[in-house]
């Protein structure tokens, strides 16, 4: 196919979800529930099949990357701001994953939101979210990237606060919106810096001129000069830290659990939270020339992977366990980026999209059965009631825990091995963090599995007679996600990482000194061999130890868990308080801002402004009272005043001579 035809296919693929949003939003009440969801699901399904076709052309058949300008939005002198798409292996792969997960979520929503009065509105939001994510992925310039970036942030606010009558939902949506705006300050400053030093916002032109900018330095403080590339990369990653929930800008993501479960799966699996990972991978020609930023990303990613995984161990809300799991896994992806293993980061992004969406939707199936109960302390023994949900949740847990041959095993182990080989400063710290995470991950996810599906039944007795397996419209997406959660890693690892040219091809740039994947290729003997030899690795036995520990603490000796809480009460309190991030933000930023506003009101408004205005009024009143004394109404008083005035004038006049 020629370039124009490919760009037209991409445009149709992007506009179909938007068309569904407009149709559902404008005519949803007229069309009715059934026709609305059928229309929107059909349009997203068509988009998905188009993305599969583009994936085949660009990723499998290695068609050269193409770019197409849809129209020029604005011009300023020699600058052009185009609305244009970039089709290459990376964008084709991402659109396929985004649309597959979105399609599964759309189908799942039929069952989950069946009784919700905002049924059509929710479908419209999900389709609009998909549209903005596609724009973000397909953009060929920073301007369009920012449009998609802000779009997913806006719609996430609407989706997290979908149940707007619940105060917690409003708080969660507002928190997500504000924290992401903090990151966006850095992101938009990065775009301004790119425009300032490169004179363009077009990816290709920026990457072409990187050698011309490498030597430029920027004075941050007197005597402290920093590379311009490093400043740009820091600002870009600062935006990614908020969007992809890296410490300390991760605090919004657990609160997003206040939204309906389908959107939790969509946000956390393949769309919004992975946007930052995708953006850094796309900007690899910039980040590769900033070793300081690679070190920073390693440290941030390693800390996120390990410490946020520990928080998941003490959570009792089933969705929050999976939410903190998402933060931890995003830390793994960031570590891969810092180690210059960009292909491995995208590989883990893909496998994570499958099993994390599966875990969220399986948790949602449990929540439906228990009439929206999310506390695992009020569950237990559900395996006999919900065998299919249990099986799919178990598959997701095994994939997340990196147990071979499930998909997460291949992507996570590659990241751990890659960071071990990295020579970038900070790689040692990141390696021990992700290695410890190999134990923590199965500990928290199997703790959730055992507490939910095994152990004694702790459900409300009134619910027991009503608990049953979810309908097929809920189970079908679970099965659809369970299959790639089992086989995707084994099927993709060769093409993603080791067969030349790799699946992502020239979409990723890595300096020869940083190419850890090349070093791993000398020891790689195939996916089957990797799975069979897993028992020889420390990560496998750490994972098994995590599963056994979860079983001991929840199913075999639950009293042991209470003993640990008392024995390590300080550590437990720290984890329950989530290291104090939320408390710090609440005290310093929320209450601090309120106190600062109150102080400004008392000093500036009440004392200064009101005092000045009221003082001027009081002076006028005082002056009027004094002046009124002079208006006595007696003629002889006025005559005396005239005589005194004349005398004073004469004295002044004579004295002047």
Give, in order, the Cα–Cα distances in Å from 467 to each of 219, 366, 461, 488. Answer: 64, 9, 10, 33
Among 302, 527, 563, residue whose Cα is nearest residue 425: 302
> Could you give the CA distance from residue 214 to residue 228 in angstroms, rounded to a whole number?
7
Whether the model clears a pTM of 0.85, i.e. scores above it, the answer is yes
> Could you give the CA distance from residue 1 to residue 61 in angstroms, rounded to a whole number?
12
Confidence band of 116 (pLDDT split at 50, 70, 90): confident
In the chain, what percentage of residues exceed pLDDT 70? 99
Range 118-141 average pLDDT: 91
Confidence band of 482 (pLDDT split at 50, 70, 90): very high
Beta strands, E only, 390-440: none
> Could you give the CA distance from residue 590 to residue 593 in angstroms, rounded to a whole number?
5
Confidence band of 14 (pLDDT split at 50, 70, 90): very high
pLDDT tens digits, residue range 549-563? 999 888 878 778 888
pLDDT tens digits, residue range 359-368? 999 999 999 8
With a cut of 70, say whether residue 43 has pLDDT above it: yes
* The pLDDT of residue 454: 87
Helix/strand/coil (H, E, C) string of 210-257? Answer: HHHHCCCEEEEECCEEEEHHHHHHHHHHHHHHHHCCCCCCCCHHHHHH
Contact status, residue 159 vs residue 129, Cβ threshold 8 Å: yes
With a cut of 70, say whether residue 432 has pLDDT above it: yes
pLDDT tens digits, residue range 268-296? 777 788 889 999 999 999 999 999 999 99
Range 331-349 average pLDDT: 93
The encoded tokens of residue 255 equal: 């609160």
Integer-rounded Cα Rg, in Å, for the chain is 31
* The pLDDT of residue 70: 87
Range with the poorest average pLDDT among 85-89, 599-603, 624-628, 633-637: 633-637
* The pLDDT of residue 656: 60
Output b/e per residue, 398-428; b: 16+ Cβ within 10 A. bbbbbbbbbbbbbbbbbbbbbbbbbebebbe
Among 468, 431, 442, 473, residue whose Cα is nearest residue 299: 431
* The pLDDT of residue 443: 93
Which has more confidence, 623 or 136?
A: 136
* The pLDDT of residue 626: 78
Give, in order, the Cα–Cα distances in Å from 257 to each of 67, 247, 305, 379, 418. Answer: 38, 18, 19, 19, 32
Maximum Cα–Cα distance across the chain: 121
Range 564-573 average pLDDT: 86
* The pLDDT of residue 82: 85
With a cut of 70, say whether residue 657 has pLDDT above it: no
pLDDT tens digits, residue range 501-528? 888 888 898 888 888 888 888 888 888 8
With a cut of 90, say whether residue 441 has pLDDT above it: yes
Confidence band of 326 (pLDDT split at 50, 70, 90): very high
Among 282, 250, 278, residue whose Cα is nearest residue 182: 250
The encoded tokens of residue 478 equal: 């679970």
CA 231 to chain centre: 22
The H-or-E segment that residue 76 falls in is: strand 66-76
DSSP per residue, 254-302: HHGGGS-HHHHHHHHHTSHHHHHHHHHHHTHHHHTT-HHHHHHHHHHHH
Q: Where are the domains of the chain?
A: 290-576, 581-656
Helix (H, G, I), strand (E, B) or coil at 86: strand
| CB atoms closer than 10 angstroms to residue 656 | 6
Contact status, residue 249 vs residue 210, Cβ threshold 8 Å: no
Contact status, residue 293 vs residue 368, Cβ threshold 8 Å: no
């Amino acid at each position: 196919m020629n370039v124009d035809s490919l760009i037209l296919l991409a445009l149709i693929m992007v506009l179909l979800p938007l068309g569904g949003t407009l149709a559902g939003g404008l005519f949803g009440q007229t069309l009715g529930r059934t026709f609305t969801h059928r229309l929107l699901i059909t349009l997203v399904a068509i988009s998905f099949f188009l993305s599969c076709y583009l994936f085949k052309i660009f990723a499998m058949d290695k068609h050269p990357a193409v770019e197409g300008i849809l129209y020029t939005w604005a011009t300023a002198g020699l600058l052009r701001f185009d609305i244009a798409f970039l089709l290459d292996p990376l964008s084709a792969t991402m659109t396929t994953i985004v649309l597959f997960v979105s399609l599964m979520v759309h189908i799942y929503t039929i069952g989950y939101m069946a009784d919700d009065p905002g049924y059509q509105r929710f479908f419209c939001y999900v389709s609009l979210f998909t549209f903005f994510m596609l724009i973000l992925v397909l953009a060929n310039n920073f301007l369009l990237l920012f449009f998609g970036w802000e779009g997913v942030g806006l719609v996430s606010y609407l989706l997290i606060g979908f149940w707007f009558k619940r105060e917690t939902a409003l708080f969660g949506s507002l928190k997500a919106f504000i924290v992401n705006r903090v990151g966006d300050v850095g992101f938009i400053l990065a775009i301004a810096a790119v425009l300032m030093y490169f004179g363009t916002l077009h990816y290709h032109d920026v990457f072409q001129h990187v050698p011309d900018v490498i030597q430029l330095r920027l004075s941050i403080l007197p005597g402290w000069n920093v590379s311009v590339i490093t400043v740009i990369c820091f600002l870009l990653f600062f935006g990614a830290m908020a969007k992809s929930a890296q410490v300390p800008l991760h605090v919004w993501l657990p609160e997003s659990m206040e939204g309906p479960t389908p959107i939790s799966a969509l946000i956390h699996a393949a769309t919004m939270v992975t946007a930052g990972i995708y953006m850094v991978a796309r900007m690899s020609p910039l980040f590769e020339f900033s070793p300081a930023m690679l070190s920073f990303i390693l440290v941030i990613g390693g800390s996120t992977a390990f410490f946020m995984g520990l928080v998941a161990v003490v959570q009792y809300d089933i969705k929050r366990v999976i939410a903190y799991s998402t933060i931890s896994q995003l830390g793994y992806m960031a570590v891969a980026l810092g180690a210059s293993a960009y292909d491995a980061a995208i590989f883990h992004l893909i496998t994570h999209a499958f099993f994390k969406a599966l875990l969220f939707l399986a948790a949602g199936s449990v929540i439906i059965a228990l009439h929206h109960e999310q506390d695992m302390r009020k569950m237990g023994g559900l395996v006999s009631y919900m065998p299919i949900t249990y099986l799919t949740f178990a598959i997701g847990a095994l994939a997340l825990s990196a147990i071979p041959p499930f998909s997460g095993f291949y992507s996570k182990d590659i990241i751990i091995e890659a960071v071990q080989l990295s020579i970038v400063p900070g790689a040692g710290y990141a390696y021990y963090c992700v290695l410890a995470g190999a134990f923590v991950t199965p500990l928290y996810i199997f703790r959730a599995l055992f507490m939910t599906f095994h152990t004694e039944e702790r459900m409300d007795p009134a619910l027991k007679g009503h608990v049953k397996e979810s309908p097929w419209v809920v189970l079908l997406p679970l099965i659809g996600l369970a299959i790639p959660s089992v086989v995707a890693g084994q099927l993709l690892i060769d093409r993603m990482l080791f067969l030349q040219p790799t699946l992502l091809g020239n979409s990723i740039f890595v300096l020869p000194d940083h190419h850890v994947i090349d070093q791993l290729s000398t020891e790689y003997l195939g996916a089957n061999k990797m799975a069979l030899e897993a028992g020889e690795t420390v990560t496998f036995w750490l994972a098994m130890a995590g599963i056994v520990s979860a079983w001991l603490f929840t199913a075999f000796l639950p009293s042991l868990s209470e003993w640990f809480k008392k024995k390590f009460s300080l550590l437990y309190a720290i984890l329950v308080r989530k290291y104090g991030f939320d408390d710090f933000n609440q005290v310093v930023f929320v209450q601090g801002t309120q106190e600062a506003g109150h102080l400004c009101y008392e000093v500036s408004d009440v004392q200064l402004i009101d005092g000045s205005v009221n003082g001027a009024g009081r002076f006028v009143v005082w002056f009027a009272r004094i002046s009124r004394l002079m208006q006595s109404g007696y003629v002889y008083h006025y005559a005396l005043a005239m005589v005194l005035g004349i005398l004073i004038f004469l004295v002044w006049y004579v004295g002047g001579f």
